Every structure is written in C-alpha cells, then in structure tokens.
Amino acid sequence: MKLSKIFFLLFIILNFFSICHAEKNDQLTIKISKNLRCLTCQGQSIYDSQSDFAVSMKILINKKIEQGLSEKEIYELLKDKYGEWIVYDTNFNRNTFILWGLPVLLFFLGGAIILRKLVFRKV
C-alpha cells in the first residue's frame, strides 16, 4: 500500500513540471470547487465566491490534488470535516433515496396513468 503511494507520488512529481499536468490540475480544482458550497456565503459555490473561506478552500483543494488525492477522496475528506452540507452532489443513501427516487417514481406513475386512460378508452 505504502509502496504504491510512493510510486504514485513519484509519478506525480515526475509529471509535475509538465504544463499539461498543471493545467489538468487547475481544471480539476475548478471542477471540484464548483461542486462545493461556500459555507460563509449565502448560496454560492466555492468557485464563485471570493470570501476568505472560499480562497483558503481553493488552496486546500489544490494542495490535496498535488498530494495525489482523487476527486472522490477530496469530497470524502471535506464531508468528514464540514458535513454533507458542503457538497452539492448528494449521494444516494439512506437520507436521500426519496430525493432521487420520488421524481422517477412519479414519472412512471404518470406514464401508467396516461397509458391506462388511453388503453381503457380504446376498448
């Protein structure tokens, strides 16, 4: 495990000087920061905000990427620290299955009603 981490770090360091990678990192930082809520502002993402909190978060995200953490790991890290509130992309879990399920359920229910009405009439 440790060996793989070292390899991974080496890999990152080797790539570090190539501009391509830096740009990729930037894009990833943007992508991640768009998906995080700024906790000190009202309803803005970290990407949109210029508050102290948002600025320091952006630096943190950048650091974590450089350390080789994946997007998902960064989300998990921040969730542990600040709670689920911080990520805009909620997972499917015990608390959110209704959120994800209900619209789709309603869609099929609506389809069933329409179909029944039409078929029922045709008979």
Partner 1 sequence: MLANHIGHYSLVIGLLTSILIFLLSLKSYKSQIIDKRIFSISFLQLFFVLISFLSLVICFVISDFSNETVFNNSHTNKPIFYKISGTWGNHEGSLLLWLLVLTLFLFLFLINSKNELKRYRILTVVFQQVIIIGFFLFVLITSNPFNYLFPIPMEGLGLNPILQDPALAIHPPILYVGYVGSSLIFSATLAAVIENYISKNWAKNIKIWILISWIFLTIGIMVGSIWAYYELGWGGFWFWDPVENVSLMPWICLTALLHCILVLEKRELLKSWTIILSIATFTLSMCGTFLVRSGILNSVHTFANDPSRGIFILCFLFFLIIIALIIFFIFNKDKQKDYKKIYFFSKEVSILVNNWFLMYFLSVVLIGTLYPIFLEVLIDHKISVGPPFYNKLIVPFLIFFLIFMSLGPNLKWIKETNIKNKFQLFIFFFISLIISFIIYKKIGKTNLINTVLIAASFYLFIVTIKDFFSKELYNISKKLSHFGFSMLILSILLNGILSTEAIINLKVGEKFTFKNEQIFFKSLENNQKENYQSVVGYFKVEDDKKNISLFKPELRIYDQPVVITSEADIKTTFFRDRFLVMNTIKGNEYFNVRYQVKPFMIWIWISTLLLAIGGFLSLYNRLYEK
Enumerate binding residues for partner 1 (CB under 8 A).
26, 30, 34-35, 37, 41-45, 47-48, 50, 52, 55, 83-90, 95-96, 98-100, 102-104, 106-107, 110-111, 114, 118, 121-122
Q: Least distance from C-beta 5 to partner 1, angstroms? A: 29
Q: Least distance from C-beta 14 to partner 1, angstroms? A: 23
Q: Least distance from C-beta 33 to partner 1, angstroms? A: 10
Angle between helices 19-34 and 52-66 (to 10 degrees): 130
For partner 1, the closer CB: 3 or 104? 104
For partner 1, the closer CB: 68 or 110? 110
For partner 1, the closer CB: 66 or 84? 84
Q: What angle do CA 71, 74, 78 make, to 5 degrees?
A: 145
For partner 1, the closer CB: 47 or 66? 47
**Structure token pair of residue 79:** 């969730």
